[in-house]
Amino acid sequence: MAIYVSKRGKRKSRIVIPKSYNQFNLTDVLGPESIAFDCKGQGPYVGVSDGRILKHEPNFGWKEFAIPSLTRRLCDGSTNPMLEPVCGRALGLKFNDATCDLYIADAYFGLLMVGPKGGVAQVLVNSSEGIPFRFTNGLDVDINTGVVYFTDSSIIFQRRYADLLSRSSTDRTGRLLRYDPRAKRASVMYKGLMFPNGVALSQDCSFLLVAETIRKRILKFNLGDEDGLNNNNPKVFAELPRVPDNIKMNEKGEFWVALNTGRLGETSNDGPDPVGVKYDAEGSILQELDGSGGTIFNSISEVNEELCPLIKNILLLDSEGKRIAVKYYSDDWSTNSAKEAFEKAVFAKTQKTNARTDAEITMFDNYVVVYKFVQDLHFFVTGGENENEIILAAVLQGFFDAVGLLLRGTVDKKEALENLDLILLCLDEIVDGGIILETDANVIAGKVASHSMDAGAPLSEQTITQALATAREHLTRSLLK
C-alpha cells in the first residue's frame, strides 16, 4: 500500500492504482471535459470538441444528444480550437435530478439548458453585471431550489487560450456566479479569482467548493442568505500538489478533485503520481488516484464516482404466485428455497393491490419492489433499500412493454409459457449481472427478435417476424411523435 500526504492533508491517504478499467473510445473528436448521468442513471453524457453533447448507450455506443447551435456543417467532427467560438465547447455538465434537465456550462455561449429528450440547447444567460461571459467553465445545481452555481474563468481569456491563462500570474478576473431560475438572471457571488474552475455543492447544500486552478487550491464558500453567501470571504478547503480541474461529489458526500497534469506541462517523477484526490466534507484526504507516470492516465479533467444502479431480481409470476420466469442477480438469496420464499412473500404482500393501470412501489424486507399486473401475470423488479425507484420503475416498464410487443399484445400466462424463450431473452437484454443494459421496450423487443432468428430458436417464424415488425412500427411511431 503506497502512502502519500498532500501539503494540507490532515491524515495519510491510500493511493488507488487502477488495475483494470473500461475505455469509452470517441471517434473523430477530442474527449470530454466533464461527464454526467441522467435522472434514470443512464449515460455517461459528455461534451466533445465540436460542441455537441453525446450520450453513451449500451450496445450502440455514442449518439448525439444535444447541440449548442444549428451551425453544424462547419462544426461536426471539428477538433480545431479556433472554431470553438462558432461551434461551442461544453465544459461543465450537470443534470437536475428533480426535472431531468441537463445544464451546460458552454465556454463560449454561456449557461445553457436542454430538456430530457435533448435537441438544441437553450441559452439561459451569457452575461452578468453588463460583462459577457468569456470562459464559462464548471457548474453544479441545487436540486431543492434549481439554483445553478457556475464559474466564468476569465473575462479576458477564452478557453482556446487556456494555456495562456494557466500561466498568467496577473489575471484575477475570474468570477463565481449564481443563476436563479425564477428571476432568470445571473448574479456575481465573488470576484477576483485566478482561473476558477470546477464547482461542487455539499450534500446538504450548506457550502460550495470551487477549484482555483492557478493557485492550486480549493476554496470553500459557506452558503446562507438570498445572494448565496454568508457575507464572508472563502476559506481554503485544500491546497494541492498540482493544478485542480473539476470537482465532483459522490453519493456519500465526499469530493473528488481532478488534478490535470497536462495543464502546466508538469512531468511525473519516480514518486506517486496523483491525478485525483478524494476528500471528506471536512477537507481530510481519503484516497488518491494514481496515474502511474502517465502510463495509465495522463491528462485528467474530472473524476466522477457513480454508484451504478443494481437490480436484485426480476420476477414474472402467475396469478397464484407461481414462477413463469425469474432472474436473480444477487447473492442475497443463496438457495432456491430462499428465492421461492421471497417470491411467495412478495406475492402475498402485493396481490390485493390495484397495480393494473400504473406501477406501484413497496418496501419489503429492506428492498424496494416495483410491480405491475396484467391479466394473470404479475411483473416485479427488486432493488436495494437505497435504490432509485424511478430507475427501478423504468426497468419494470421496459420489461412489461417489451413482453407486450413480443407477445403481440396478448399478454397472459398461456402466451408467456408458449413463448418462454422470448421472455428469457428479453430479461438478458434488460439486465446483465444486475447492471441495467436497456429500458427501451422497442429496442429490447427488436434485439430479442433478431437474436431469436439468428439462433434459429424453435419458435414460430411468424411470431418472431411479427414481433420484430411490431417493435419497428412502435419505434417509428415514437420517432415521429
pLDDT tens digits for range 269-284: 556 678 889 999 999 9
pLDDT at 333: 94
Kindly report the number of other CB atoms within 10 A of residue 108's CB atom: 23
Three-class secondary structure assignment of 54-101? EEEECCCEEEEEEECCCCCCCCCCCCCHHHHHHHCCEEEEEEECCCCE
pLDDT at 3: 24
pLDDT at 178: 97
CB 404 within 8 A of CB 411: yes
pLDDT at 147: 97
Mark the ranges of the chain whose per-residue pLDDT is less than 50. Answer: 1-12, 263-265, 267-268, 457-468, 470-481
pLDDT at 21: 60
Q: How far is the C-alpha of 479 from the C-alpha of 221, rounded, in Å?
A: 45
Instruction: Read off the pTM.
Output: 0.66
pLDDT at 396: 96
pLDDT at 225: 61
Q: Which domains does the chain have, with CATH numbers?
A: 3-294 (2.120.10.30), 311-480 (3.30.450.60)
pLDDT at 458: 45
pLDDT at 229: 66
